[in-house]
Structure 1
Amino acid sequence: MLDTALKFLTDELNTYLLTQTGLDTVKVEMSKLVNEEGKYAFELDTIAASIINIEEERVFKSQVPEHIYSNGQHIVLEPELKLNLHVLFAANFKVYEQALKYLSYVLTYFQSHPAFTSVEYPALDPRIEKLTTELQTLNYEHLNQIWAFIGGKQLPSVIYKVRMVAIQGMVPSSIQLPVLEINTNLHGQ
């Protein structure tokens, strides 16, 4: 699901860039930011989209297992895991002004498209009910720590929190016999 959500966002951004610029030379791609040698892992004149943190959404966490009736069995599944993704968009351009221009396109796109549903966006996997994006504002210290953690020199970048990707394992926690009939006695005990 993580790959599906990030792929959807990069595809949408690429479509937006094409409509805004008329060029398909600059792309947003899913990529790690730095390779093992400490060099950028994505090409020049590209915007990398990389998940830098995953957090559990505890506010909307379900405590109740899900019950499914399938093939004559009552199946109990653990509650789905709801996640927020912190996605860093980094612009690697030879000309600094171009990096800022294309990063502005990313900001503009998410400002005008803060939420995505599979009803409005058929390309969004129907298992993802809704994605919302929220710009994260970092102070200098946090920004420095993130780039030091990544292991690269800072590029023009922006971080968005993408809410909520739900992951549901299909391994049952228990399988029970289904309830086939209910009897009620209304006459005394």
Structure 2
Amino acid sequence: MLDIAIKFLADEVNTHLKKRALSASGLGEVVTGQIVDDAGKWATAADNIGLTLVNIEEDRIMREHLPEYAYVNGSHVVLQPEIKLNLSVLFHTRPSKADKYEQSLRFLSNLITFFQAHPVFTPEEYPGLDPRINKLIVEMLALSTEQLNQMWAYLGSKYLPSVAYRVRMVLLQDVEPQSIGKPITIIETALHNK
């Protein structure tokens, strides 16, 4: 599900950029992946927009504690509860030349206004969203200068023009049943004489 959610966001932003004719202005498209490779070199090609997953955290407020029970093919199936995740993602630009810097800032401006106008994604409104994803809520993260410094340091890169977002709620559930019980076919009652 993580890959599906990230790819969906990249596709939606790419569609938005094409509508705004920004991809024709010298910037490429949104590509998912690392910022730098293992050798410390840029992994995202210049003039493209990188989308990187920088953190995954469990949403403990909305956490389910009880297993889920279902009947599948006449059997009683017990599944572990869904894990509800919040993803921290980073959109970043790497202009190839100094004159492309303003274009990269224009991209970030359009990206911010896109998510301001479209903070919630559901399969009903966005057919490209996998129906197993009930809803994605995108909200900007306000990172301090110190937090930005720490984030770029652990990503192994120098700062690039960027904006960070939290994407809530990606649900994951193991489809392997915890247990399978036999179906109930007979109900016996006991009569007690007083």
SS at match of 1:42: coil
User: Aligned partner of 2:2: which letter?
Assistant: L
Which of 91, 102, 106 is 1:97 aligned to?
Answer: 102
Alignment of 1:102-121 (within 5 A): 102-121=107-126
Structure 1 residue 178 displacement after superposition: 2.1
Aligned ranges 1:165-184 → 2 under 5 Å: 165-182=170-187
Q: Which runs of 4+ in 1 moved over 4 A?
A: 181-189
Report whether the alignment pairs 1:58 with 2:63: no
* Contact 2:22–2:107 (Cα < 8 Å) also in 1: no
Which position in structure 1 is the counterpart of 2:44? 42
Change in 2 beyond 3 A, CA 1:99/1:188 = farther
**141-150 or 97-106: bigger deviation:** 97-106
Q: Could you say if the C-alpha distance between residues 182 and 120 of structure 1 is closer, same or farther in structure 2, counting changes exceeding 3 Å? A: farther
Aligned-pair RMSD on alpha carbons?
1.7
Alignment deviations for residues 130-172 of structure 1 (CA, whole Å, 9 cap, x no partner): 0000100011110000000001110000110000000111111
Quickly say closer, same or farther: Cα 1:186–1:117, change in 2 above 3 A.
farther
Where does structure 2 lack aligned partners over 5 or more consecutive residues? none
| Structure 2 match to 1:2 | 2
TM-score, L = length of structure 2:
0.91
**Counterpart in the other structure of 1:141:** 146
Give the partner amino acid of 2:21: T
TM-score between the two structures when normalised by the length of structure 1: 0.94
The alignment partner of 1:104 has SS state of helix
Of all paired residues, the percent bearing the same amino acid is 49
Alignment of 1:151-166 (within 5 A): 151-166=156-171
Give per-residue Cα distances to partners, 1:96-149, cap 9 Å, x unaligned: 211111111111110000000011111100000000001000111100000000
